[in-house]
Structure 1
Amino acid sequence: MGLAYNTIESPHYKVVCIYQNFDRSRLNVQIYSSDTKRWKILDDTLDLSNNHVPFLTRGVYMNGGMYWSPINNPIDSWYCFKLDIEKFKKLELPSSMKKACSTSVRYFGESCGYLHLAEMDRLKGCLYVYEMMHDCSDWVVKYEVEIVKLMVEFHKSVWCNWCIGRLEILDIVRGEEQEEENTFMVLKCCREIIGVNLLDKSFNKLFDIVTRDTYGRTMESHRYVAI
């Protein structure tokens, strides 16, 4: 179940319900519109005959579409749902993610109308942030961070694969068009939260985590909080 809502475009919202049919061979879609106050059953469905049921988790709404994280999904089973045409659309991962066993997806999210994927190459000690093209046809490497070099400089100590394994990307926030130099990434490393500018590669510690070590647990981040 997903809620698609952009108050800049319209005062109305839509609720998207995606579910398996009785024999689990297809994904069906129903859409509720606050404008018509009715549910609509779509004719377009997603065939599951390849036995790959996509994990529809960590969804984001962007440019008239619902996108879900490719993490834990098979390479050939990553889709988005385009609300403007009310159809599923198959998506492709960056080519390096399809074949490089030394890499792993560490982040999926949206900021300022851009969809981002981040992968870690442990062999090179680099973190790559991809940006999806607006027509969803391909990905481009938007930012590259020599994460091991940066962390060694930050901690003034040697970093290893064990340390990389404990690194989490909590968020990637793009600056506005005229302020792209303010684009930054928020990392969790052990008990520290670190901010990294993705253009000039400067960094600073935002705060320490004073609770028990959360290794093995996935942290959720929220950009907007009530104050």
Structure 2
Amino acid sequence: MKATAFSSVDKSEDQESMAVVPVRSVRRRNVSDPSSEVLETTDLLQQILAKLPAKMVFGFTLVSRYWNEVIIDPKLVCHLKVPRNPTAVFVRRSVMHNDNVKFTHIPLEGVAGGGGARIRRSTVSLNLLENENFTNVPFVIGHSGNGLMICSSCEPRCYFLYNPTTKKRERIPELKTSVVISMHISFQASGRHKIVAVYSTSDKLQLHVLEPNKSIPHWRNTVVDFPVLGLDVVNYGYGVDIDGVIYWPCYKSSSLMLFNVREETLQWLPEVPQPYNKFSGITYFGECKGNLRMVVNSSMIGPTFDMLELKPDHSMWFIKYHIDLTPRVRRTNWLPILVLALLPGEDQEEDDSYLIIHILTEVVSYNFKDASMRKLCDLCFRPTEYLYLRSEPWNYVHSYLQNPTYPRLTAS
């Protein structure tokens, strides 16, 4: 009897447990994600991106249109740690006709860290007008600086500001003059840039500056007087921009022409003292860590040559490095050497710079710190190509670094 009583009690408890309990609907509260708020705050996002390596930030331009606009903002570019070392070098090959302008692209990423350079066997061309009325128009590189290039077409003549990192380009307004001698990019401390053009009209040289404008960019005449005339004296095709000052060398002397873009003043430095009795042309002319560097033909005797540096007060040139390639080559007579690029390194205090040079059929890197050399790749030039590369390097060798700055001609 007790067992039966217990079973009836258990049965009633089971029925109560099996009873349907009504489910009360609970309204879900929207909780904001802090990470999404961060990503939607432009100023905060730029502060975060400025702490990251520049190469990583470049890849974020593909995330969305908003991210692309944030990254190419000049405010971020000013604080972004853009790589100091050139990313690659474009070497223009010899051409017989304008429709055959080709370049050899030599990547330099990883060279400072001990890596090599794998070049494409086939040359490349710069076709910047694929979406316009005329296609397959060859382009040549006129000037390169801080990741941007000024490219010009052969026929018809037009100029573009081109970014090889983002593949973006913007057409430069036509400068209605007789002859455009050269165009240069000058970068300002604010992160913006201006374009400077040297042109001649009626046997007179003039300077125009392309000013950023909220509506339409326009050329403005600086009305500066050139202290030295004659295109056979100053090499206006070899301009180097350092902190808003453009330096132009001379063909057969150590004189310099300086144009301060901010102040719009032109200065002539006649015969800057240099350590050679004879000045016979320039093999390299560029910038390294804020200083002007130069390699002259007079120093290239056999497998040795010197790299000069200009003192900050422009008082004289002095020998910064004596480069000896004897461990690499045993020829003591004249040796064909081409300077392709200078990698300043990432360390401001310790000189960890590399020089990229072409010797015979090889591209090698030379470490200034320990004078070590390393082969990067094989590269052969025809005799005519070498003649052009050696006599006019400013027209045929152009290095560039990765920079996400969109080529802007208008103020944002």
Question: TM-score normalised to the size of structure 2?
Answer: 0.45
| Gap regions ≥5 residues in structure 1 | none
SS at match of 2:275: helix
What pairs with 1:2-81 in structure 2 (closer than 5 Å)?
Answer: 2-6=183-187, 9-22=189-202, 24=203, 26-35=204-213, 37-48=217-228, 53-70=233-250, 73-75=251-253, 78-81=256-259
Aligned to 1:216: 387
CA distance in 2, matches of 1:191, 1:112: 30
Corresponding residue number in structure 1 for 2:274: 95
Q: C-alpha distance in 2, partners of 1:52/1:212?
A: 27
Instruction: Pick the aligned partner of 2:328 from 145, 151, 154.
Output: 154
* Residues 272, 314 of structure 2: 8 Å contact kept: no
Q: Quickly say closer, same or farther: Cα 1:182–1:34, change in 2 above 3 A.
A: same
> Is 1:110 aligned to 2:287, yes or no?
yes
Bigger relative contact order, structure 1 or 2 (CA pairs below 8 A, ≥6 apart): 2
Mapped pair 1:198 → 2:368: yes
Name the % identity: 23
Distance in structure 1 (CA, Å) of the matches to 2:306 and 2:254? 22
**Aligned positions, number:** 211
Which string of whole-angstrom CA distances, capped at 9 and with x for unpartnered residues, describes residues 115-156 of structure 1? 1011353558532111122232322322112x2xx33x224x
Q: Does 1:140 align with 2:318?
A: yes
Residue 237 of structure 2 aligns to a residue in which SS?
coil
Cα 1:40–1:179 change in 2 (3 A) is same
Contact 2:186 2:245 in 1 (8 A): no
TM-score normalised by length of structure 1:
0.77
Matched letter for residue 198 of structure 1: F
Question: Structure 2 unaligned runs (5+)?
Answer: 1-181, 390-395, 404-412
| Alpha-carbon shift at residue 187 of structure 1 (Å) | 0.9
Query: Given that residues 17 and 30 in structure 1 are in contact (C-alpha distance below 8 angstroms), is that contact kept between their aligned partners in structure 2?
Result: yes
> Residues 167 and 123 (structure 1 numbering): CA distance in 2 closer, same or farther, change over 3 Å?
closer
Distance 1:69 1:77, change over 3 A: closer
**Inter-CA distance 123–11: structure 2 relative to 1 (3 Å threshold):** closer
Rg larger in 1 or in 2? 2
How far off its partner does 1:94 sit? Answer: 3.9
Q: CA deviation at 1:6?
A: 2.9
Cα deviation digits, residues 157-182 of structure 1 (max 9, x gap): x313332xx11111222234445342
Q: In structure 1, what is the Cα distance between the partners aligned to 2:300 and 2:191? A: 45
Contact kept, 8 Å, 1:80 with 1:89, in 2: the verdict is: yes
Q: Which moved more, 1:170-179 or 1:56-65?
A: 170-179
Q: Partners of 2:397 and 2:341 in 1: how far apart?
A: 9
Secondary structure at the counterpart of residue 182 of structure 1: coil
Which amino acid is 2:356 matched to? Answer: V
Distance in 2 of aligned mates of 1:84 and 1:3: 14
Q: Distance in 2 between matches of 1:167 and 1:112?
A: 24
Q: Which has the higher strand share?
A: 1
SS at match of 2:366: strand
